[in-house]
Structure 1
């Protein structure tokens, strides 16, 4: 354990706390068992270390990576028990999904070590409500997304622009000192993941996509390697075609699998943070209808996947649905999208009001404009919601 403590203190000393992610303030850190899930590269590890450095007594805290060689011959529960016995209060476990019996041992920690707080991170594909131990009544679950446009600006330029509510945005009430359009273009190309400051952005993103498809999804779904290749092919179909209404039968024929398996693949890709599914809206018992549109999770993926025929309209819609993740966005029969309260049409600066003319609570979201008026809202403003 001493080696783990030394390793933890070394990494903590190198942790920069000047920029904090949106989720930092949203988490109730007083809970005894906290799970922070998210796609690769979104900054889960840094989030934990920053909280520790800013708020906890180091001698009562331990941060470990579940993939550490230590756990090849030692159990996680035994470490937690010994740490608690000698006054440990807070145990942070990074990448819990890399520890084979994690759910059962986390449950044992919670039940038998009542004075120990456990916080862990895991893949966004991780289903914490399944497995050998049911944690649903014990764990508080949070999800970390990639950078918003607001966070990108704050991190890049060392600013402190606050979050704006959707209602404030729809009143065109967001202002920044800088010209937003050049920054927004940079964000769309290479600003969704916090490692954009480290260089080799597209290469790093390519590696993340490769590991997610070839390692993460098969690990959590029991998928064999040949099916993982089909999953990769499906992602390229989405990337080359977005936005499009998927015909599961035809896609299945292309990949040589049943249409029902395609539906499962799409769920896996979305949980892994690689795509977004937009459904038609249904009333009553069937709250969701069929998938109407598929998008890449974020526009940065277009370059990483070497998409040659991407169009700006698809990228604009991708940005919109990505930055609206906290609202349930549906496909609209009138315009592009709708939520419980609003209808949205997304386009360039020359887009007209034709489709939403005389429609109540309808807004025209335009790219390539700095300021809006009335129901015309700049697309970049939607990146200030978190």
Structure 2
């Protein structure tokens, strides 16, 4: 099993001050496997429940303490998998938490959308939340023992097929593509459609393809809405839905000088480049692709996001662009310090734009390419 960086975090949470531990993440990302590993050496009696099973679902949504107590009596730890399936899960967890002070609770959800809405308000002050993403390249290196040079030789395959755990169990490229197609059809669409009232589901598919083609580019919501022939409010709702379902994430523009800097449009990226390539049905070698720069930018941003999240690094992330065309792919603001980054495929290097150094004199700058990206990601790596 590939050891996940946040496993030790969750173990410490389980041993620390009593809280309900919540693990969010998309389907197939390894949430159940991770929690089973966390609780494998737990000293106490564990009740594992899959909320897809109606028998347990009825009790867990009952708001009846006698039923809830009857279900959990004699157990030291309750693990609810796919907890977003339970009606009023937050209120029922609150009843358990408030009335059974010795019971430890862990829940997982395949989408933060429904689970977050049902959990956050009833359980204010009672929960610790964690996010699990596709395998990080640092987790993959720790698992395989490959050095940076050997990882670099695998880089194109990792970018093309992405980092979902099961993708590593398939050796044949056709099998990898088939898995990704099944993954997209099962979680990108069906789960999202079941969790929200989407009036035109076919528009969601069209939107994802448009976003896939515009990876790394400024995205105009009005232009997308016009192309899809839907209201801008509906489009905004779709994008929020895709964000909460761990399909895409956004970067906003750094806003320090409104007259010079582009801040009204966002850039949108995919959590997994394999999913992005599946949406546009393109797995050609990078040497034959015009979008290899976009793919590299998306891949490295996703990896940086994982590192920051797992290390609990409190950082604000932006892109930077001026109306004159100067730009940086990533700007991080941490503890008052600003650092700009430009991503280049291969061994290419670059200098900071003159307008960046003139306007942000106290900032620093780095060019991240395929030769130094592993060292960059490892700067604050949490040892696992």
Matched residues, number: 335
Partners of 2:209 and 2:297 in 1: CA distance: 18
Question: Which residue of the partner structure matches residue 4 of structure 1?
Answer: none
Measured at CA, do residues 271 and 310 of structure 1 come closer, stay the same or move farther in structure 2, by a change above 3 Å?
A: farther
Partners of 1:294 and 1:233 in 2: CA distance: 15
Matched residue SS, 1:239: helix
Alignment of 1:294-373 (within 5 A): 294-308=268-282, 311-325=291-305, 326=308, 327-333=315-321, 334-340=327-333, 341-349=338-346, 351-356=348-353, 359=357, 360-367=363-370, 369=371
Partners of 1:177 and 1:276 in 2: CA distance: 27
Question: Which residue of the partner structure matches residue 211 of structure 1?
Answer: 186
Q: CA deviation at 1:126?
A: 2.9
Does the CA contact (< 8 Å) of 2:51 and 2:81 recur in 1? yes
Alignment of 1:160-309 (within 5 A): 176=147, 179-199=150-170, 200-224=175-199, 226=200, 228-282=201-255, 289-308=263-282
Q: CA deviation at 1:379?
A: 2.5
Partners of 2:210 and 2:290 in 1: CA distance: 12
Question: Which residue of the partner structure matches residue 45 of structure 1?
Answer: 32
Partners of 1:100 and 1:223 in 2: CA distance: 20
Does the CA contact (< 8 Å) of 1:149 and 1:184 recur in 2? no
Question: Which residue of the partner structure matches residue 99 of structure 2?
Answer: 112
Q: CA deviation at 1:283?
A: 5.2
1:26 aligned to 2:6? no
Does the CA contact (< 8 Å) of 1:281 and 1:289 recur in 2? yes
Matched residue SS, 1:338: strand
TM-score, normalised to structure 1's length? 0.78
Matched residue SS, 1:290: coil
Matched residue SS, 1:273: coil
Q: CA deviation at 1:331?
A: 0.9
Partners of 1:380 and 1:122 in 2: CA distance: 31
Partners of 2:198 and 2:43 in 1: CA distance: 40
Q: CA deviation at 1:141?
A: 0.9
Partners of 1:32 and 1:231 in 2: CA distance: 36
Partners of 1:353 and 1:72 in 2: CA distance: 56
Matched residue SS, 2:300: helix
**In angstroms, what is the RMSD of aligned CA positions?**
2.7
Does the CA contact (< 8 Å) of 1:65 and 1:93 recur in 2? yes
Partners of 1:332 and 1:177 in 2: CA distance: 29
Question: Which residue of the partner structure matches residue 64 of structure 1?
Answer: 49
Partners of 1:263 and 1:330 in 2: CA distance: 20
Question: Which residue of the partner structure matches residue 375 of structure 1?
Answer: none
For structure 1, the 5+ residue unaligned runs are 1-17, 162-175, 370-377
Partners of 2:41 and 2:249 in 1: CA distance: 34
Partners of 2:31 and 2:5 in 1: CA distance: 12
Q: 1:154 aligns with which of 122, 133, 142?
A: 142
Does the CA contact (< 8 Å) of 2:49 and 2:56 recur in 1? no
For structure 2, the 5+ residue unaligned runs are 283-288, 309-314, 322-326, 358-362
Question: Which residue of the partner structure matches residue 312 of structure 2?
Answer: none
Q: CA deviation at 1:355?
A: 4.2
Once the two structures are superposed, what CA deviation does each residue of 1:144-197 show, in whole Å capped at 9, x if it has no partner?
A: 111111112233x2x3x9xxxxxxxxxxxxxx3752311222322335111123
Q: CA deviation at 1:290?
A: 3.1
Partners of 2:190 and 2:166 in 1: CA distance: 21
Does the CA contact (< 8 Å) of 1:125 and 1:268 recur in 2? no
Partners of 2:148 and 2:293 in 1: CA distance: 27
